[in-house]
Chains A and B, each alone.
Chain A
Amino acid sequence: DTGVSQDPRHKITKRGQNVTFRCDPISEHNRLYWYRQTLGQGPEFLTYFQNEAQLEKSRLLSDRFSAERPKGSFSTLEIQRTEQGDSAMYLCASSLGLAGNTGELFFGEGSRLTVL
Chain B
Amino acid sequence: AQSVSQHNHHVILSEAASLELGCNYSYGGTVNLFWYVQYPGQHLQLLLKYFSGDPLVKGIKGFEAEFIKSKFSFNLRKPSVQWSDTAEYFCAVNADDYKLSFGAGTTVTVRA
Contact A109 B102, beta carbon cutoff 8 Å: no
Given A48-B99, A99-B98, A103-B51: A41 and B44 within 8 A (CB)? no
Seed contacts A100-B51, A100-B94; 13 additional CB < 8 Å A-B pairs:
A40-B105, A41-B105, A48-B99, A55-B98, A91-B44, A100-B96, A101-B51, A103-B34, A104-B49, A107-B43, A107-B44, A107-B45, A109-B43
Check: B101 CB closer than 8 A to any chain A CB: yes
A-B contacts at CB below 8 angstroms, number: 69
Contacts of B92 in A (CB 8 A): 42
A45 within 8 A of B: yes
Chain A positions near chain B (C-beta within 8 angstroms): 3-4, 31, 33, 35, 40-45, 48, 50, 55-56, 91, 93, 98-101, 103-105, 107-110
Are A31 and B98 in contact, CB atoms less than 8 angstroms apart?
A: yes
Contact (Cβ within 8 A) B42 A100? no
Interface size class of B (residues with CB under 8 A): 20 to 34
Partner of B32 from A50, A103, A110 at Cβ < 8 Å: A103
Q: Are the C-beta atoms of B32 and A42 separated by less than 8 Å? A: no
Interface contact B42-A42, CB-CB below 8 Å: no
Residues of A within 8 A of B101 (CB): 45
Closest 3 CB pairs of A and B: A42-B102, A100-B94, A107-B44
A55 to B98, CA, bound (A): 10
Contacts of A48 in B (CB 8 A): 98-99
Q: Which of A3, A40, A55 is packed against the most chain B CB atoms within 10 Å?
A: A40
* A42:B103 contact, CB within 8 angstroms: yes
Pairs A–B under 8 Å by Cβ, sample size 16 = A42-B90, A42-B103, A43-B90, A44-B102, A45-B101, A50-B98, A56-B98, A93-B44, A99-B98, A99-B99, A100-B32, A100-B98, A104-B34, A107-B44, A109-B43, A110-B43
Distance A93 CA – B98 CA, assembled complex (angstroms): 12
Judge whether B97 and A42 touch: CB under 8 Å: no
Is B100 in contact with chain A by the CB < 8 A criterion?
A: yes
Q: Are A43 and B98 within 8 A (Cβ)?
A: no
Contacts of B42 in A (CB 8 A): 109
